[in-house]
Amino acid sequence: MTTHHQVRMSDTCVISPTFLFRWEESQDAHVLLYPEGIVKLNETGGTILKHCDGESTVAELVDKLNERYNTDREAITQGVIKFLEVSHAKGWIRVTS
């Protein structure tokens, strides 16, 4: 079972090797595929995971989303961190410092 990890702005994230992240035309969405099934992501979730490349920091990811949505930076920061923490707890991503 995956333990809770507090995501920091300096962390980087990468999709766990047991999942395949891709655009699925039939779902009209980004998805995470794994041996037991599929997770259909909303637009924001797909955008966040697209930047989980092991190179971009969480701060850089927040910057990219802030440019795209041009809204409250603090709300974006909190939303990204929460999504990444939940994704980590579900085993979708690995977080490195």
The reported pLDDT for the residue numbered 68 is 87
DSSP 3: P
In a domain, 1, yes or no: no
What is the residue whose two structure tokens read 């924001």?
44
- The CATH number covering residue 41 comes to 1.10.10.1150
User: How many residues are present in the chain?
Assistant: 97
pLDDT in tens, 41-79: 999 999 999 999 999 999 999 999 999 888 889 999 999
Note down the domain range covering 55.
12-90
Percent of the chain at pLDDT exceeding 90: 87
Amino acid at 69: Y
84, 93 contact by CB (below 8 A): yes
Question: What's the rounded Cα separation, in Å, for the pair 89 and 87?
Answer: 5
